[in-house]
A and B are shown apart, each in its own frame.
Chain A
Protein backbone atom coordinates (compact mmCIF):
# COMPACT_ATOMS: atom_id res chain seq x y z
CA UNK A 1 0.00 0.00 0.00
CA UNK A 2 1.67 3.17 -1.21
CA UNK A 3 -0.17 5.59 1.04
CA UNK A 4 0.60 3.70 4.25
CA UNK A 5 4.23 3.55 3.28
CA UNK A 6 4.17 7.32 2.68
CA UNK A 7 2.51 8.05 6.02
CA UNK A 8 4.97 5.81 7.82
CA UNK A 9 7.84 7.41 5.95
CA UNK A 10 6.62 10.84 7.01
CA UNK A 11 5.95 10.11 10.66
CA UNK A 12 8.81 7.77 11.53
CA UNK A 13 11.54 10.43 11.02
CA UNK A 14 9.76 12.62 13.57
CA UNK A 15 10.09 9.87 16.13
CA UNK A 16 13.77 9.49 15.34
CA UNK A 17 14.59 13.21 15.62
CA UNK A 18 12.66 13.34 18.89
CA UNK A 19 14.85 10.52 20.14
CA UNK A 20 17.97 12.46 19.16
CA UNK A 21 16.62 15.54 20.96
CA UNK A 22 16.97 13.62 24.23
CA UNK A 23 20.33 12.06 23.43
CA UNK A 24 23.50 13.52 24.88
CA UNK A 25 25.26 15.68 22.26
CA UNK A 26 28.42 14.26 20.77
CA UNK A 27 30.19 17.62 20.99
CA UNK A 28 33.31 17.98 23.13
CA UNK A 29 33.24 21.57 24.41
CA UNK A 30 36.88 22.26 23.83
CA UNK A 31 38.25 24.84 26.23
CA UNK A 32 36.36 23.30 29.15
CA UNK A 33 36.52 19.65 28.15
CA UNK A 34 39.75 18.35 26.72
CA UNK A 35 40.29 15.02 25.12
CA UNK A 36 43.51 13.18 26.03
CA UNK A 37 45.22 12.46 22.74
CA UNK A 38 46.75 9.01 22.21
CA UNK A 39 50.49 8.74 23.08
CA UNK A 40 51.52 8.57 19.43
CA UNK A 41 49.52 11.70 18.53
CA UNK A 42 51.53 13.93 16.23
CA UNK A 43 51.69 17.47 17.59
CA UNK A 44 54.44 19.73 18.96
CA UNK A 45 57.94 18.56 18.03
CA UNK A 46 60.67 18.28 20.69
CA UNK A 47 64.38 17.53 20.74
CA UNK A 48 65.20 14.85 23.30
CA UNK A 49 68.35 13.97 25.23
CA UNK A 50 70.04 10.60 25.58
CA UNK A 51 70.06 8.75 28.94
CA UNK A 52 73.33 10.44 29.84
CA UNK A 53 71.72 13.83 29.55
CA UNK A 54 73.49 14.90 26.36
CA UNK A 55 71.75 16.17 23.28
CA UNK A 56 70.80 13.40 20.92
CA UNK A 57 70.80 15.55 17.80
CA UNK A 58 73.89 15.10 15.64
CA UNK A 59 72.85 17.78 13.12
CA UNK A 60 72.73 15.33 10.22
CA UNK A 61 70.07 17.43 8.39
CA UNK A 62 67.99 14.32 7.62
CA UNK A 63 64.92 15.81 9.27
CA UNK A 64 65.16 19.07 7.37
CA UNK A 65 65.69 17.08 4.18
CA UNK A 66 62.64 14.93 4.88
CA UNK A 67 60.44 17.87 5.80
CA UNK A 68 57.94 18.44 2.97
CA UNK A 69 57.33 22.07 3.94
CA UNK A 70 60.92 22.97 4.80
CA UNK A 71 60.15 24.18 8.28
CA UNK A 72 63.27 22.76 9.96
CA UNK A 73 66.64 24.43 9.68
CA UNK A 74 69.87 24.07 11.64
CA UNK A 75 73.58 24.74 11.66
CA UNK A 76 75.92 21.80 12.32
CA UNK A 77 78.89 22.15 14.65
CA UNK A 78 81.42 19.86 16.30
CA UNK A 79 82.90 19.71 19.82
CA UNK A 80 86.53 19.03 20.67
CA UNK A 81 85.96 15.27 21.00
CA UNK A 82 84.39 15.09 17.56
CA UNK A 83 80.81 14.95 18.75
CA UNK A 84 78.46 16.68 16.32
CA UNK A 85 75.67 18.94 17.52
CA UNK A 86 73.40 21.66 16.17
CA UNK A 87 74.75 25.15 16.79
CA UNK A 88 71.26 26.39 16.29
CA UNK A 89 68.12 24.45 15.52
CA UNK A 90 64.91 26.10 14.39
CA UNK A 91 61.42 24.76 13.67
CA UNK A 92 58.81 27.06 12.20
CA UNK A 93 55.58 25.68 13.64
CA UNK A 94 53.59 28.11 11.56
CA UNK A 95 54.63 26.04 8.54
CA UNK A 96 54.82 22.63 10.14
CA UNK A 97 52.12 20.22 8.94
CA UNK A 98 52.81 17.67 11.68
CA UNK A 99 53.36 14.86 9.21
CA UNK A 100 55.97 13.15 11.40
CA UNK A 101 58.42 12.53 8.57
CA UNK A 102 61.20 14.29 10.51
CA UNK A 103 60.75 11.98 13.48
CA UNK A 104 60.77 8.99 11.15
CA UNK A 105 63.91 10.16 9.44
CA UNK A 106 65.89 10.84 12.61
CA UNK A 107 68.63 8.20 13.08
CA UNK A 108 69.32 9.17 16.70
CA UNK A 109 65.69 9.48 17.92
CA UNK A 110 66.47 13.09 18.75
CA UNK A 111 63.49 14.72 17.11
CA UNK A 112 60.14 13.36 18.34
CA UNK A 113 56.45 14.21 18.11
CA UNK A 114 54.48 14.85 21.30
CA UNK A 115 50.72 14.94 21.99
CA UNK A 116 50.89 18.60 23.08
CA UNK A 117 48.53 20.06 20.47
CA UNK A 118 47.73 23.43 22.03
CA UNK A 119 50.26 25.60 20.24
CA UNK A 120 47.85 27.91 18.41
CA UNK A 121 48.89 31.51 18.60
CA UNK A 122 47.82 34.87 17.30
CA UNK A 123 51.41 35.84 16.57
CA UNK A 124 52.94 33.60 13.90
CA UNK A 125 56.46 34.80 14.69
CA UNK A 126 56.23 33.34 18.17
CA UNK A 127 55.66 29.98 16.53
CA UNK A 128 59.22 29.96 15.24
CA UNK A 129 60.92 27.99 17.98
CA UNK A 130 64.63 27.84 18.65
CA UNK A 131 66.69 25.04 20.16
CA UNK A 132 66.14 26.33 23.72
CA UNK A 133 62.38 26.06 23.21
CA UNK A 134 62.57 22.64 21.57
CA UNK A 135 65.04 20.86 23.80
CA UNK A 136 63.52 18.86 26.66
CA UNK A 137 65.23 17.20 29.61
CA UNK A 138 63.86 13.70 29.09
CA UNK A 139 64.45 10.91 26.61
CA UNK A 140 61.01 11.01 25.04
CA UNK A 141 59.60 7.74 23.83
CA UNK A 142 62.78 5.64 24.13
CA UNK A 143 64.40 5.69 27.57
CA UNK A 144 67.53 3.70 26.65
CA UNK A 145 68.69 4.54 23.18
CA UNK A 146 71.99 6.35 22.98
CA UNK A 147 73.31 6.74 19.46
CA UNK A 148 76.98 6.99 20.38
CA UNK A 149 76.79 3.70 22.34
CA UNK A 150 75.81 1.84 19.16
CA UNK A 151 77.64 3.52 16.35
CA UNK A 152 79.34 6.67 15.23
CA UNK A 153 82.84 7.93 15.85
CA UNK A 154 84.55 7.29 19.14
CA UNK A 155 82.91 9.78 21.46
CA UNK A 156 81.78 7.54 24.33
CA UNK A 157 83.93 4.52 23.63
CA UNK A 158 86.89 4.31 21.29
CA UNK A 159 86.00 3.80 17.68
CA UNK A 160 84.37 0.39 17.20
CA UNK A 161 84.47 -0.27 20.90
CA UNK A 162 80.73 -0.47 21.52
CA UNK A 163 79.11 -3.76 22.47
CA UNK A 164 77.41 -4.43 19.16
CA UNK A 165 80.32 -3.15 17.07
CA UNK A 166 83.40 -4.77 15.66
CA UNK A 167 86.77 -3.10 15.92
CA UNK A 168 87.77 -1.22 12.78
CA UNK A 169 89.59 -3.35 10.27
CA UNK A 170 93.01 -2.30 9.10
CA UNK A 171 92.57 -2.24 5.31
CA UNK A 172 96.27 -2.88 4.82
CA UNK A 173 95.88 -6.20 6.64
CA UNK A 174 93.50 -7.32 3.91
CA UNK A 175 96.06 -6.92 1.18
CA UNK A 176 97.01 -10.33 -0.23
Chain B
Protein backbone atom coordinates (compact mmCIF):
# COMPACT_ATOMS: atom_id res chain seq x y z
CA UNK B 1 0.00 0.00 0.00
CA UNK B 2 2.67 2.51 1.03
CA UNK B 3 4.66 1.36 -2.01
CA UNK B 4 1.80 2.33 -4.26
CA UNK B 5 1.42 5.70 -2.57
CA UNK B 6 5.15 6.34 -2.85
CA UNK B 7 5.12 5.48 -6.54
CA UNK B 8 2.16 7.76 -7.06
CA UNK B 9 3.90 10.59 -5.21
CA UNK B 10 7.05 10.06 -7.27
CA UNK B 11 5.09 10.17 -10.50
CA UNK B 12 3.36 13.37 -9.39
CA UNK B 13 6.69 14.97 -8.47
CA UNK B 14 8.19 13.98 -11.81
CA UNK B 15 5.11 15.26 -13.62
CA UNK B 16 5.34 18.59 -11.82
CA UNK B 17 9.04 18.93 -12.56
CA UNK B 18 8.60 18.07 -16.22
CA UNK B 19 5.64 20.41 -16.49
CA UNK B 20 7.67 23.30 -15.08
CA UNK B 21 10.76 22.53 -17.13
CA UNK B 22 8.90 22.04 -20.39
CA UNK B 23 6.80 25.17 -20.02
CA UNK B 24 9.73 27.40 -19.14
CA UNK B 25 11.76 25.77 -21.88
CA UNK B 26 8.98 26.49 -24.37
CA UNK B 27 8.81 30.11 -23.21
CA UNK B 28 12.54 30.54 -23.58
CA UNK B 29 12.58 28.73 -26.92
CA UNK B 30 10.29 31.49 -28.18
CA UNK B 31 12.85 34.03 -27.01
CA UNK B 32 15.74 31.99 -28.42
CA UNK B 33 13.97 31.68 -31.74
CA UNK B 34 13.35 35.40 -31.93
CA UNK B 35 16.94 36.19 -31.00
CA UNK B 36 18.51 33.64 -33.34
CA UNK B 37 16.25 34.56 -36.25
CA UNK B 38 17.03 38.20 -35.56
CA UNK B 39 20.76 37.60 -35.64
CA UNK B 40 20.42 35.59 -38.85
CA UNK B 41 18.70 38.61 -40.38
CA UNK B 42 21.35 40.99 -38.97
CA UNK B 43 18.96 42.32 -36.31
CA UNK B 44 19.29 42.12 -32.54
CA UNK B 45 15.99 40.49 -31.66
CA UNK B 46 14.27 41.38 -28.38
CA UNK B 47 16.87 42.97 -26.10
CA UNK B 48 15.01 45.69 -24.23
CA UNK B 49 13.59 43.79 -21.27
CA UNK B 50 16.21 42.67 -18.80
CA UNK B 51 19.72 41.57 -19.78
CA UNK B 52 19.64 40.21 -23.36
CA UNK B 53 15.83 40.45 -23.27
CA UNK B 54 15.59 37.60 -20.77
CA UNK B 55 12.34 38.87 -19.22
CA UNK B 56 10.66 39.11 -22.61
CA UNK B 57 8.69 35.81 -22.24
CA UNK B 58 7.11 37.14 -19.03
CA UNK B 59 6.05 40.29 -20.82
CA UNK B 60 4.66 38.22 -23.68
CA UNK B 61 2.57 36.13 -21.29
CA UNK B 62 1.24 39.23 -19.51
CA UNK B 63 0.33 40.73 -22.86
CA UNK B 64 -1.43 37.58 -24.03
CA UNK B 65 -3.38 37.15 -20.80
CA UNK B 66 -4.59 40.71 -20.66
CA UNK B 67 -5.81 40.71 -24.26
CA UNK B 68 -9.45 40.24 -25.12
CA UNK B 69 -10.48 36.61 -25.51
CA UNK B 70 -12.49 37.05 -28.67
CA UNK B 71 -14.98 34.45 -29.93
CA UNK B 72 -16.30 35.07 -33.44
CA UNK B 73 -20.06 35.39 -33.71
CA UNK B 74 -20.63 32.61 -36.25
CA UNK B 75 -18.16 30.17 -34.71
CA UNK B 76 -18.91 26.83 -33.11
CA UNK B 77 -18.38 28.23 -29.65
CA UNK B 78 -17.53 25.20 -27.52
CA UNK B 79 -15.24 23.60 -30.06
CA UNK B 80 -13.61 26.97 -30.61
CA UNK B 81 -12.89 27.33 -26.90
CA UNK B 82 -11.72 23.74 -26.55
CA UNK B 83 -9.33 23.40 -29.49
CA UNK B 84 -6.29 25.36 -28.22
CA UNK B 85 -6.29 23.37 -24.99
CA UNK B 86 -6.24 20.14 -26.97
CA UNK B 87 -3.15 21.23 -28.89
CA UNK B 88 -1.19 22.21 -25.79
CA UNK B 89 -2.41 19.20 -23.81
CA UNK B 90 -1.49 16.57 -26.39
CA UNK B 91 1.88 18.21 -26.81
CA UNK B 92 2.46 18.00 -23.05
CA UNK B 93 1.15 14.42 -22.78
CA UNK B 94 3.76 13.08 -25.18
CA UNK B 95 6.51 13.82 -22.72
CA UNK B 96 5.23 11.20 -20.30
CA UNK B 97 7.12 8.41 -22.07
CA UNK B 98 10.37 10.23 -22.79
CA UNK B 99 13.27 8.87 -20.72
CA UNK B 100 15.73 11.65 -20.00
CA UNK B 101 18.27 9.82 -17.85
CA UNK B 102 19.14 6.24 -16.90
CA UNK B 103 17.28 4.81 -13.88
CA UNK B 104 18.58 6.31 -10.67
CA UNK B 105 19.28 4.24 -7.56
CA UNK B 106 18.07 6.14 -4.50
CA UNK B 107 17.46 4.65 -1.02
CA UNK B 108 17.93 1.17 -2.43
CA UNK B 109 15.13 1.65 -4.89
CA UNK B 110 15.40 1.93 -8.63
CA UNK B 111 13.90 5.20 -9.75
CA UNK B 112 13.21 5.31 -13.49
CA UNK B 113 13.87 8.79 -14.86
CA UNK B 114 10.76 8.77 -16.97
CA UNK B 115 7.25 9.54 -15.80
CA UNK B 116 5.82 6.28 -17.07
CA UNK B 117 7.94 3.67 -18.83
CA UNK B 118 5.25 2.19 -21.07
CA UNK B 119 6.27 -0.94 -22.93
CA UNK B 120 4.54 0.54 -25.99
CA UNK B 121 5.94 4.04 -25.47
CA UNK B 122 6.70 4.52 -29.14
CA UNK B 123 3.16 3.70 -30.21
CA UNK B 124 1.85 5.99 -27.49
CA UNK B 125 3.98 8.83 -28.86
CA UNK B 126 2.80 8.22 -32.42
CA UNK B 127 -0.83 8.12 -31.31
CA UNK B 128 -0.65 11.25 -29.17
CA UNK B 129 1.24 13.20 -31.78
CA UNK B 130 -1.46 12.40 -34.36
CA UNK B 131 -4.10 13.47 -31.84
CA UNK B 132 -2.38 16.84 -31.62
CA UNK B 133 -3.54 17.61 -35.15
CA UNK B 134 -7.13 17.47 -33.91
CA UNK B 135 -6.58 20.68 -31.98
CA UNK B 136 -5.56 22.43 -35.16
CA UNK B 137 -8.33 20.90 -37.27
CA UNK B 138 -11.08 21.52 -34.71
CA UNK B 139 -9.84 25.06 -34.14
CA UNK B 140 -9.77 25.76 -37.86
CA UNK B 141 -13.20 24.23 -38.40
CA UNK B 142 -14.87 25.89 -35.41
CA UNK B 143 -13.59 29.36 -36.33
CA UNK B 144 -15.94 29.36 -39.32
CA UNK B 145 -13.53 31.46 -41.34
CA UNK B 146 -12.24 30.55 -44.77
CA UNK B 147 -8.62 31.05 -43.84
CA UNK B 148 -8.91 28.93 -40.73
CA UNK B 149 -10.66 26.21 -42.68
CA UNK B 150 -7.95 26.25 -45.34
CA UNK B 151 -5.33 25.96 -42.62
CA UNK B 152 -7.18 23.04 -41.05
CA UNK B 153 -7.48 21.26 -44.40
CA UNK B 154 -3.81 21.81 -45.08
CA UNK B 155 -2.79 20.44 -41.70
CA UNK B 156 -4.87 17.32 -42.35
CA UNK B 157 -3.29 16.82 -45.74
CA UNK B 158 0.08 17.35 -44.16
CA UNK B 159 -0.67 14.78 -41.46
CA UNK B 160 -1.62 12.19 -44.07
CA UNK B 161 1.62 12.84 -45.95
CA UNK B 162 4.15 12.64 -43.15
CA UNK B 163 2.57 10.30 -40.61
CA UNK B 164 3.07 7.11 -42.63
CA UNK B 165 6.70 7.73 -43.44
CA UNK B 166 7.31 8.73 -39.82
CA UNK B 167 5.93 5.44 -38.56
CA UNK B 168 7.80 3.46 -41.21
CA UNK B 169 11.08 5.21 -40.39
CA UNK B 170 10.73 4.11 -36.77
CA UNK B 171 10.31 0.40 -37.46
CA UNK B 172 14.05 -0.22 -38.16
CA UNK B 173 14.80 1.36 -34.80
CA UNK B 174 12.31 -0.95 -33.11
CA UNK B 175 13.76 -3.91 -35.00
CA UNK B 176 17.26 -3.29 -33.66
CA UNK B 177 16.10 -2.50 -30.12
CA UNK B 178 13.61 -5.40 -30.15
CA UNK B 179 11.29 -3.26 -28.01
CA UNK B 180 8.71 -0.49 -28.23
CA UNK B 181 9.83 0.93 -24.88
CA UNK B 182 11.77 4.14 -25.32
CA UNK B 183 14.06 3.28 -22.39
CA UNK B 184 15.03 0.03 -24.11
CA UNK B 185 15.57 1.87 -27.36
CA UNK B 186 18.00 4.26 -25.65
CA UNK B 187 19.71 1.31 -23.92
CA UNK B 188 20.21 -0.35 -27.31
CA UNK B 189 22.19 2.69 -28.49
CA UNK B 190 24.86 2.40 -25.81
CA UNK B 191 27.73 1.91 -28.28
CA UNK B 192 26.34 3.39 -31.49
CA UNK B 193 23.54 5.91 -31.82
CA UNK B 194 20.87 4.92 -34.31
CA UNK B 195 21.94 7.87 -36.44
CA UNK B 196 24.93 5.80 -37.54
CA UNK B 197 23.04 2.52 -37.85
CA UNK B 198 20.00 3.89 -39.69
CA UNK B 199 21.06 7.09 -41.47
CA UNK B 200 18.27 6.90 -44.04
CA UNK B 201 15.61 6.30 -41.39
CA UNK B 202 17.08 9.27 -39.49
CA UNK B 203 16.72 11.55 -42.50
CA UNK B 204 13.16 10.42 -43.18
CA UNK B 205 12.23 10.88 -39.52
CA UNK B 206 13.88 14.32 -39.48
CA UNK B 207 11.84 15.49 -42.46
CA UNK B 208 8.69 13.94 -40.96
CA UNK B 209 9.04 15.65 -37.59
CA UNK B 210 9.82 18.92 -39.37
CA UNK B 211 6.41 18.48 -41.02
CA UNK B 212 4.86 17.39 -37.72
CA UNK B 213 6.10 20.50 -35.96
CA UNK B 214 4.28 22.71 -38.53
CA UNK B 215 7.26 24.99 -38.89
CA UNK B 216 9.04 26.28 -41.94
CA UNK B 217 9.63 24.76 -44.47
CA UNK B 218 6.38 22.91 -43.70
CA UNK B 219 4.28 25.64 -42.10
CA UNK B 220 1.47 25.58 -44.63
CA UNK B 221 -1.28 25.34 -41.96
CA UNK B 222 -0.19 28.74 -40.62
CA UNK B 223 1.30 30.39 -43.71
CA UNK B 224 0.94 33.96 -42.47
CA UNK B 225 1.40 35.48 -45.90
CA UNK B 226 -0.99 33.21 -47.78
CA UNK B 227 -3.84 32.43 -45.42
CA UNK B 228 -3.37 35.01 -42.66
CA UNK B 229 -2.17 32.70 -39.91
CA UNK B 230 -4.27 29.74 -41.02
CA UNK B 231 -5.99 27.84 -38.24
CA UNK B 232 -5.31 30.49 -35.59
CA UNK B 233 -6.50 33.47 -37.63
CA UNK B 234 -9.54 33.99 -35.40
CA UNK B 235 -7.82 33.31 -32.10
CA UNK B 236 -6.69 36.02 -29.76
CA UNK B 237 -5.24 36.40 -26.30
CA UNK B 238 -4.20 33.37 -24.31
CA UNK B 239 -6.04 30.96 -26.62
CA UNK B 240 -3.71 31.98 -29.40
CA UNK B 241 -0.99 31.75 -26.76
CA UNK B 242 -1.91 28.11 -26.13
CA UNK B 243 -1.58 27.30 -29.82
CA UNK B 244 1.69 29.16 -29.84
CA UNK B 245 3.09 27.53 -26.73
CA UNK B 246 1.82 24.16 -27.97
CA UNK B 247 3.95 24.60 -31.07
CA UNK B 248 7.05 25.16 -28.96
CA UNK B 249 6.25 22.35 -26.53
CA UNK B 250 5.91 20.22 -29.63
CA UNK B 251 9.34 21.39 -30.67
CA UNK B 252 10.79 20.19 -27.36
CA UNK B 253 8.93 16.89 -27.61
CA UNK B 254 10.03 16.22 -31.17
CA UNK B 255 13.56 17.22 -30.30
CA UNK B 256 13.60 14.78 -27.42
CA UNK B 257 12.04 12.05 -29.57
CA UNK B 258 14.75 12.55 -32.17
CA UNK B 259 17.31 12.44 -29.37
CA UNK B 260 15.87 9.30 -27.84
CA UNK B 261 15.33 7.43 -31.09
CA UNK B 262 18.33 8.41 -33.17
CA UNK B 263 20.87 10.51 -31.29
CA UNK B 264 21.53 8.03 -28.49
CA UNK B 265 19.40 9.61 -25.77
CA UNK B 266 21.39 10.28 -22.63
CA UNK B 267 24.53 8.43 -23.81
CA UNK B 268 27.64 10.55 -24.14
CA UNK B 269 31.14 10.85 -22.72
CA UNK B 270 32.22 12.88 -19.66
CA UNK B 271 29.08 14.89 -18.90
CA UNK B 272 26.23 13.49 -16.78
CA UNK B 273 23.42 11.82 -18.77
CA UNK B 274 20.78 14.49 -18.11
CA UNK B 275 23.12 17.19 -19.44
CA UNK B 276 23.79 15.19 -22.58
CA UNK B 277 20.08 14.69 -23.06
CA UNK B 278 19.28 18.40 -22.69
CA UNK B 279 22.18 19.42 -24.91
CA UNK B 280 20.98 17.13 -27.68
CA UNK B 281 17.40 18.36 -27.37
CA UNK B 282 18.53 21.97 -27.44
CA UNK B 283 20.73 21.27 -30.45
CA UNK B 284 17.80 19.76 -32.34
CA UNK B 285 15.67 22.77 -31.37
CA UNK B 286 18.42 25.06 -32.64
CA UNK B 287 18.50 23.17 -35.92
CA UNK B 288 14.74 23.68 -36.29
CA UNK B 289 15.13 27.40 -35.66
CA UNK B 290 18.04 27.45 -38.05
CA UNK B 291 15.91 25.79 -40.72
CA UNK B 292 13.22 28.39 -40.13
CA UNK B 293 15.76 31.14 -40.70
CA UNK B 294 16.96 29.48 -43.88
CA UNK B 295 14.29 27.62 -45.81
CA UNK B 296 11.37 29.03 -47.77
CA UNK B 297 7.93 27.47 -47.33
CA UNK B 298 7.06 24.48 -49.48
CA UNK B 299 3.87 24.43 -51.49
CA UNK B 300 0.99 22.24 -50.35
CA UNK B 301 1.28 19.81 -53.25
CA UNK B 302 5.06 19.70 -52.95
CA UNK B 303 4.78 18.29 -49.45
CA UNK B 304 2.23 15.68 -50.59
CA UNK B 305 4.59 14.78 -53.43
CA UNK B 306 7.54 14.56 -51.06
CA UNK B 307 5.63 12.47 -48.55
CA UNK B 308 3.92 9.99 -50.83
CA UNK B 309 6.32 9.67 -53.73
CA UNK B 310 9.69 10.01 -52.00
CA UNK B 311 9.59 9.44 -48.26
CA UNK B 312 7.23 6.46 -48.08
CA UNK B 313 8.93 4.39 -50.81
CA UNK B 314 12.31 5.21 -49.31
CA UNK B 315 11.10 4.25 -45.85
CA UNK B 316 9.68 0.98 -47.15
CA UNK B 317 12.94 0.20 -48.95
CA UNK B 318 14.92 1.07 -45.85
CA UNK B 319 12.68 -1.16 -43.75
CA UNK B 320 13.10 -4.05 -46.17
CA UNK B 321 16.88 -3.76 -46.27
CA UNK B 322 17.19 -3.39 -42.50
CA UNK B 323 14.95 -6.39 -41.89
CA UNK B 324 16.90 -8.47 -44.40
CA UNK B 325 20.24 -7.55 -42.85
CA UNK B 326 18.98 -8.28 -39.35
CA UNK B 327 17.62 -11.63 -40.50
CA UNK B 328 20.92 -12.48 -42.20
CA UNK B 329 22.88 -11.54 -39.07
CA UNK B 330 20.63 -13.68 -36.93
CA UNK B 331 20.68 -16.67 -39.32
Interface residues of A (CB under 8 A from B): 10, 13-14, 16-18, 20-21, 23, 25-27, 29
Chain B residues in 8 Å Cβ range of A16: 294
Question: Would you call B39 and A21 a contact (CB within 8 A)?
Answer: yes
Interface of B, secondary structure class, is helix
With both chains docked as a complex, state the minimum distance between the C-beta of B51 and any C-beta of chain A, in angstroms: 14
State A17–B39 Cα separation when bound (angstroms).
Answer: 9
Q: Cα distance A14–B294 when bound, in Å? A: 6
Q: How far is the CA of A13 from the CA of B291 in the complex (A)?
A: 9
Decide yes or no whether B124 CB sits under 8 A from chain A. no
A27–B44 alpha-carbon span in the complex (Å)? 7
Of the candidates B36, B40, B295, the one having the most CB atoms from chain A within 10 angstroms of its own CB is: B40
Once the chains are docked, how many angstroms separate the CA of A41 from the CA of B38? 30
Dominant SS among interface residues on chain A: helix
Tell me the bound Cα distance from A21 to B290 in angstroms.
Answer: 9
A16 to B42, CA, bound (A): 12
How far apart are A122's CB and chain B's nearest CB, in angstroms?
Answer: 19
B43 near A17 with CB under 8 A, answer no
Q: Is B46 an interface residue (CB 8 A)?
A: no
> Smallest CB-CB separation from B295: which chain A residue?
A13
**B268 proximal to A (CB < 8 A):** no
Complex interface: chain A residues within 8 A of B43 (CB): 25-27
Give A120 to B326 CA distance when docked, in angstroms.
73
How far is B40's CA from A17's CA once the two chains are assembled, in angstroms? 6
- The digit string for B32-49, where 1 denotes a CB below 8 A from any CB of A, is 000010111111100100
Other-chain residue from B36, B44, B47, B295 in contact with A21 (beta carbon distance below 8 A):
B36
Contact B42 A27 (CB under 8 A): yes
* CB < 8 Å neighbour of A25 from B36, B44, B291: B44
- A20: contacting residue among B41, B44, B291, B295, CB under 8 A: B41
Q: Give the chain B neighbours of A20 by CB distance below 8 A.
A: 39-42
The residues of A that contact B47 with a CB separation of less than 8 Å are 29
Chain A hits for B42, CB < 8 A: 20, 23, 25-27
The answer to whether B44 touches A13, judged by C-beta atoms less than 8 angstroms apart, is no
Which of A14, A25, A29 contacts B290 (CB under 8 A)? Answer: A14
Q: A17–B38 contact, CB under 8 A?
A: no
Q: Are B290 and A18 in contact (CB under 8 A)?
A: yes
Contacts of A18 in B (CB 8 A): 290
